[in-house]
Amino acid sequence: MAALACAGGVAAESIITMSPATTIAEARLVDIRQLVPDIMEDIKYAGSDNFVGAPVDGYLAPKCFLLRPAAEALARVERDLRPLHRRLQLFDCYRPARASRHFVRWAADPADQHTKAAHYPDIDKRDLMGDYIAPLSGHSRGATVDLTIIQCNENDERCAPLDMGTIFDFFGTRANTDSPLATPAQHANRALLREAMEREGFRNYAMEWWHYSLSPEPTPGVVYNVPVQ
């Protein structure tokens, strides 16, 4: 395994290793749909509705994989929400290391600004490296998930996302979980998500209301690079 330095908000300046796994099975990653067949997924990096504006390297299918302890904990969150006619909607789960390299290349291209209005209206693209974009991500360790809560009616139909104040992958202080720029209703919705996730051992990244990692992580010193397919 190669030794790597992991930068960014999730695992700043820790030394990790790259797994030699070449397949999902070798990495022991689990498709969340094996545990929750009808979970709602909107895997952003498999398509173009994301801050890069294009499918991201390593995402060959819109699927959510996690290491089994994280997948089982997430399934329990979903189970706990359903009596209240609420459900999770997943934006990202395991992320191949190659995807982070794609993000770094995008951040280094000042000419590509076509997602600025939606994703980083108040930040210069040159300043995204560090707190928002890093050479490696905690997602690549297989126990981090980006998600929101969907509220359905009493028949579990006509479901809609709760208002969290920003879109997923909004780069700016409005996306901070406890941002003073969020309304009381948005704070309440963020608190619902945080409480549901914390009950099953997930911890929030304070800069992003949608970002949660299982604590402790199953393999905190290892990242994976197998494609999502």
pLDDT at 14: 63
163 is in an annotated binding site: no
**118 has a pLDDT exceeding 90:** yes
102 is in an annotated binding site: no
Least confident piece of the model among 12-16, 183-187, 201-205: 12-16
**What DSSP assignment string belongs to 7-74?**
-SSSSTTEEEEE----SHHHHTEEEGGGT-TT-EE--GGGSS-STTSSPPTTBSSS--EEEHHHHHHH
139 is in an annotated binding site: yes
Share of residues in the chain with pLDDT > 90 (%): 91
User: CA triplet 203, 209, 213: central angle to 5 degrees?
Assistant: 25
Q: Which domains does the chain have, with CATH numbers?
A: 3-223 (3.30.1380.10)
List the catalytic residues: 208
d(CA 91, CA 209): 12
Cis check: omega of the bond before 216, within 30 degrees of 0: yes
133-159 pLDDT tens trace: 999 999 999 999 999 999 999 998 899
Backbone torsion region of residue 148, taken as left when φ is above 0, otherwise alpha when ψ lies between -120 and 50, otherwise beta: beta
| pTM score, whole prediction | 0.93
pLDDT at 5: 37
pLDDT at 1: 30
The stretch 114-138 carries a mean pLDDT of 95
